[in-house]
Amino acid sequence: MIVIDAASAVPPFEQLRAQLARQIQDHTLAVGTRLPTIRRLAADLGLAANTVGRAYRELEEAGLIETRRAAGSFVSAAGEDGRAQAHRAATEYAAVIARVGIDPDEALRIVRAALTTTPTPAL
């Protein structure tokens, strides 16, 4: 269930994007699930079609959904590929940390700093 808080400082498209991304990542929305059309979801949520369209575009750019011409938008398997890639990178990072002798708490601080200061690349 998607809930948009009109009183929130977070723009509606971002609320929608974040909620759909979370549902995809926690498998509430399974790979292959067809999403409502932009117009249908906009009407259901009381949003402008452009607002829903922007959320869908950002999800597509992140690889979480794919749009098939004349068929609609679907949850993509590419999001799973990203999770597997992140797991491999974390395993490699853990090996480096062990090899150079950095304390696990310090390693986590390094990761947190990188996550907050490194711009997210466009996919």
Confidence of residue 122 (pLDDT cuts 50, 70, 90): very low
Q: Please count the other Cβ atoms lying within 10 Å of the Cβ belonging to residue 76.
A: 20
Residue-wise burial string across 80-92, b where 16 or more C-beta atoms lie within 10 A, e elsewhere: beeeeeeeeeeee
- pLDDT tens digits for range 51-100: 999 999 999 998 899 998 889 999 998 666 666 777 888 999 999 999 99
In this model, does residue 121 exceed pLDDT 60? Answer: no
User: Model-level pTM?
Assistant: 0.66
Confidence of residue 25 (pLDDT cuts 50, 70, 90): confident
Residue 120's pLDDT is 52
